[in-house]
Every structure is written in structure tokens, then in C-alpha cells.
């Protein structure tokens, strides 16, 4: 599990410059408000798609996880 989390963090660090480039170029072309709305919609669509496709995420309950691993 630790390797999966590390890979997501690494992917985040790797793709941040690409996202900054897309946001900056888009802001120059159509304005910052439109780009913010568009990129937020893309992020929401990805989150919804992952939620709908992953039974593990749909069935995850934070209260059970806290009880299982302790509160601190």
C-alpha cells in the first residue's frame, strides 16, 4: 500500500508543471476565470468517474477506518 501512495505523490509532483503550463496558456487565451471553471470541472469529472468505477472507494467508511487504525 505504501508504494501505491508514494507513486500517486510522485505522479502529482511530476504532473504539476504540466498543469501549470495548461492553466497559464489557457488563462492567456480565454481568461483565468474560464480556465479555473474548466479545470475544476475536469477534476470533478475525474473524481466522479473514479467513485463510480471503484467499488472499494464507494464502500469505504471513514468511521470504520478510524476505529480499525486508532485515532492517532
In this structure, are residues 35 and 26 in contact, taking their beta carbons and an 8 Å threshold? yes
**Alpha-helix residue ranges (DSSP H) falling in 1-72:** 2-30, 32-53, 55-59, 62-69
Q: What is the pLDDT of residue 71?
A: 57
pLDDT tens digits, residue range 22-47?
A: 999 999 999 999 999 999 999 999 99
Average pLDDT over residues 51-63: 83
Q: What angle do CA 60, 44, 26 make, to 5 degrees?
A: 150
Centroid of chain to Cα 11: 11
Average pLDDT over residues 37-59: 91
**Count of CB atoms situated within 10 Å of the CB of 15:** 11
Distance CA 49, CA 46 (A): 5
Amino acid at each position: 500500500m505504501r508504494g501505491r501512495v508514494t507513486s500517486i505523490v510522485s505522479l502529482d509532483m511530476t504532473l504539476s508543471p504540466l498543469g501549470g503550463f495548461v492553466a497559464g496558456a489557457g488563462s492567456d487565451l480565454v481568461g483565468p476565470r474560464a480556465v479555473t471553471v474548466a479545470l475544476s470541472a475536469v477534476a470533478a469529472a475525474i473524481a466522479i468517474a473514479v467513485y463510480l468505477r471503484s467499488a472499494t472507494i464507494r464502500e469505504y467508511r471513514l468511521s470504520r477506518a478510524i476505529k480499525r487504525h486508532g485515532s492517532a
